Structure 1
Amino acid sequence: MGWVRLTVYSFIREYESESFKRSHSEEWYKAHMWHFLNTVSNNVNEMEILRSEKASFSSSKRKNKDMSIGAIDSLVSKEIGSKCDMIFRKLACNHDDIFEFGATETGKNYDGDDVTKKLIEGCIKLPKCLKDMLDNLAMNIQAIADTDRPIPYITRMTRVRSVHISSDISNFGSSVLPSMYSVWLAREIVKRVLPLLTTSPTAVSNADSSWLETYWTSSKPFVMSGSSTSSMTSNRSRKVNYR
């Protein structure tokens, strides 16, 4: 309830000052309009949010999965992951595994659903980045068998109704509240996934140490679906690579 009250009060202050009726930079909108994305996880101790074009670990992991020591050819530099405006991940230090749950992309202008920025970031970069995050979770949770993949190199995603923040306070209920609700739902999903990441696949008992006898035995590898390892062709004539 504290998050709901804080978010509503913050929006009311912005509406009272009529700041939403003026144009601003993208960073301003992140701080004044989409701030509730930053605060929704304040009471989830195991979750953190990275901001300001941070690179995805899961995306980098997929891009560098075939990296090897250079022999004839020189070693290729490690590729960084796709950069997103916000990345939601499990709280971790540098020597821990990194698990990511989602990411967002924002823009300062709304020019329709078919503009270049939204098509590239919302329909190419972000879905591929989310797929990398899902694949990384599946490899570690060992419980997700497959996603909806009709053919090996396609992951099918279901899009929900888009939401936006209106500049008119009379539309507060129809624009702000659905946005808050969608963010709250995302947080609840993350809270359900977190226990799966912290539970060991091998039941360890303090009274029974027999599990140590088979600890180093090679287990059956987890089979990832074809789209995670499928080769990706690129158009060499284009200067931009949306890997």
Structure 2
Amino acid sequence: MEPKLDYDRARKWNRERSRQVHIYQPTINEFSGNLNGNVTTTGTVNGGTFVTGFSKETRCSPIVSERSDEQTMPSEAAPSDSSFEYIPSDESDQVRRESTIFTYAESMTKADNIDAATSTSGATSKRSFELMDSDLKEEDTLSIIFNSSIDEEIKISEETSVTSAASSSDNDNELTFGVDDMELFTKRYLAMKDDKKWKLSTGRYVEDILYNLGKKCNYHNLIHSFIIDPEDKFVHSGFTMEELQEICETKSMQEPPQIDDDLLQYIDSFAKDSTKDIRKALYSPHPRLCENYNPLVDFAYEHVRTTVSDWVRLLEMEPNPLTITQDLPESWFRINVWRTLDIAFSDIPFTFFVGGEKAGLATRERKNRSRTLSNIGPMQRKAVGRKGDGYVRSIGSRSIDWAASEAGSKWEGDRGTKLIKECDLILPKVLKDIFINLARKTNFEEDKVRKINIPGFIHAGAVLVKTNLDCPKGYTCRYMKEDPLEIYADVTQFNRTLDALVSIIYAKYVILQTMKIVNEDKSENLKRWKNLRKAERTEVSDCHPTPKKRRVVDLNQK
């Protein structure tokens, strides 16, 4: 059995023939001097002499394959106008030439392209020849032998660098706000009516200011989706401090939910300075967690106890994993720290926290809203919503998203790159998609749209940032962020850790309010059916389209 050709064998083969140079077809084509002679005789190259013939390696090479009928070679060499012609050296060459062909291309590719290769691609099969030059220095010989391999490696390296640079450039270009983007942005702005815009006490309109700011942007921004973030420094350049304060303090038509005092007292009972005291409180009997426990009524207490138990377990571990958060993956935090989100909605029928990079239903609906049947062109491929880290979703004949979350494996500070992108651009656009989807279900009725609130969660490592999106006035959605909350590694700070739990419970109550608004009471049916009044409507525009990645654009062009 012949040994398998590999990289080491190819190098050894070249070292043994270090004073031999192969003349392949590309070499002959590029030769600019006079070439006289034939394979079996001595010729001259610019006055020098050379002797050609089959090399020992070529005669004995095991790298052969059966010749196909389309690749047959003539028994004798065809006449050629060239002064260099092929003449078989003996009968064995003739027999071998008729029975096999040499396929160096495949084998030399496996050998990392150290030597040049010949392959059969048509009716003519190429042969390798050997040039013996006694005056050729060994260093020059090695240089010639490995020249093609080195050039190829340099070429690949350069192509890799160019590709990497192009990829980086493409990533920047993906967020560039182009001419088409500006046309759509302007079109949506011009469709707004002045009497329905958000008018400030200064007499200016929020939508007008956002449009003027959006025209200055070279890159995609929340402004282009008519979402205002009062904390954005770029937004500050268009508003006065009094106007920003008015925007923040404008109340929604929906009254904020209230958490039951008894539940808050139960949460406060775990504000201890040691894990021993916390466990003592966990094991203490409670009237809502006894044998008469009703999961539809008393689940909030079970949720609190389960969450506190999870967090205490982390504090008791050695070493404490909350002290080495920089080395733990994102999935670990979701399972061990933020399981409280997974179980928070267990008492709401058919409602779950869906995690694990699932596509957003509202974003998918927005991306496919303009999809039509094939006409002049083919039907567009169905777009998939952005894959977020989690959604509060009700499952049924028509599933609905009510909230969304984004996650990261570590906290890099308020101005970390990942936090800026996800908290200041990605998440608010997802929340607005959910808002528009729910507003459509209410037919954009003014009194209902103003009451819809969409909570959002950003959890980076053991830190939680809760957000909220609503539309209190006009066509502009307001995006507000709360201060970061942390699951502390120090048990003496456990009273502050409980702030995160209260924030999650509060967000749950907001979602329940929105569910009640969207799923209107049956008492409204008669009014709606009889059309006693036509509800005032304010159709808020969709989010600005997300820029497509370059590979998607290329695919669509094909």
Q: TM-score, normalised by structure 2?
A: 0.37
- CA spacing shift, 1:166–1:60, aligned 2, 3 Å: same
- CA spacing shift, 1:3–1:110, aligned 2, 3 Å: same
Secondary structure at the aligned position of 2:525 is classed as: coil
Task: Give the letter for the 2:376 counterpart.
Answer: I
Kept in 2: contact 1:53–1:83 (CA 8 A): yes
Cα deviation for residue 97 of structure 1 reads: 2.6
Residue of structure 1 in register with 2:409 after alignment:
108
| Equivalent of residue 147 in structure 1, options 457, 465, 471 | 471
- Taking the TM superposition and a 5 Å limit, the aligned residue runs for 1:152-163 are 155-163=477-485
Residue of structure 1 in register with 2:333 after alignment:
29
Cα deviation for residue 192 of structure 1 reads: 1.8
Residue of structure 2 in register with 1:196 after alignment:
517
Higher helix share: 2
Count residues with an aligned counterpart. Answer: 221
- C-alpha distance in structure 2 between counterparts of 1:14 and 1:137, whole Å: 38
Cα deviation for residue 99 of structure 1 reads: 2.3
| Equivalent of residue 433 in structure 2, options 99, 117, 132 | 132
1:170 paired with 2:492, answer yes
Higher strand share: 2
Deviations 1:8-30 (A, max 9, x none): 11101111001222331110110
- C-alpha distance in structure 2 between counterparts of 1:131 and 1:157, whole Å: 9
Residue of structure 2 in register with 1:9 after alignment:
309
| Equivalent of residue 20 in structure 1, options 313, 322, 333 | 322
Task: Give the letter for the 2:449 counterpart.
Answer: I
Q: Identity over aligned residues, as a percent?
A: 23
- C-alpha distance in structure 2 between counterparts of 1:33 and 1:165, whole Å: 8
Residue of structure 1 in register with 2:505 after alignment:
184
Kept in 2: contact 1:148–1:157 (CA 8 A): no
- C-alpha distance in structure 2 between counterparts of 1:117 and 1:14, whole Å: 26
- C-alpha distance in structure 1 between counterparts of 2:321 and 2:546, whole Å: 46
Task: Give the letter for the 1:4 counterpart.
Answer: V
Secondary structure at the aligned position of 2:310 is classed as: helix
Secondary structure at the aligned position of 1:109 is classed as: coil
Higher RCO (CA-CA < 8 Å; seq separation 6+) = 1
Residue of structure 2 in register with 1:224 after alignment:
539
Secondary structure at the aligned position of 1:11 is classed as: helix
1:120 paired with 2:444, answer no
Kept in 2: contact 1:85–1:105 (CA 8 A): yes
CA RMSD in angstroms comes to 2.8
Unaligned runs of 5+ in 1: 205-210
Cα deviation for residue 121 of structure 1 reads: 1.4
Unaligned runs of 5+ in 2: 1-300, 451-469, 553-558
Cα deviation for residue 35 of structure 1 reads: 0.6
Task: Give the letter for the 2:378 counterpart.
Answer: S
Secondary structure at the aligned position of 2:388 is classed as: strand
- CA spacing shift, 1:233–1:14, aligned 2, 3 Å: closer
Secondary structure at the aligned position of 1:156 is classed as: strand
Cα deviation for residue 62 of structure 1 reads: 0.9
- C-alpha distance in structure 2 between counterparts of 1:222 and 1:128, whole Å: 22
Residue of structure 2 in register with 1:80 after alignment:
384
Task: Give the letter for the 1:9 counterpart.
Answer: S
Secondary structure at the aligned position of 1:167 is classed as: coil
Cα deviation for residue 148 of structure 1 reads: 4.6
1:54 paired with 2:354, answer no
Deviations 1:64-86 (A, max 9, x none): 11111122222111111121111
- C-alpha distance in structure 1 between counterparts of 2:485 and 2:382, whole Å: 37
Secondary structure at the aligned position of 1:77 is classed as: coil
Q: TM-score, normalised by structure 1?
A: 0.79
Kept in 2: contact 1:82–1:125 (CA 8 A): no
Task: Give the letter for the 1:10 counterpart.
Answer: D
Moved more, 10-19 or 136-145: 136-145
Q: Which has the larger radius of gyration?
A: 2
Deviations 1:104-162 (A, max 9, x none): 11111111122221111111111000001011111113421581577x5x533122112
Task: Give the letter for the 1:193 counterpart.
Answer: T
Residue of structure 2 in register with 1:207 after alignment:
none
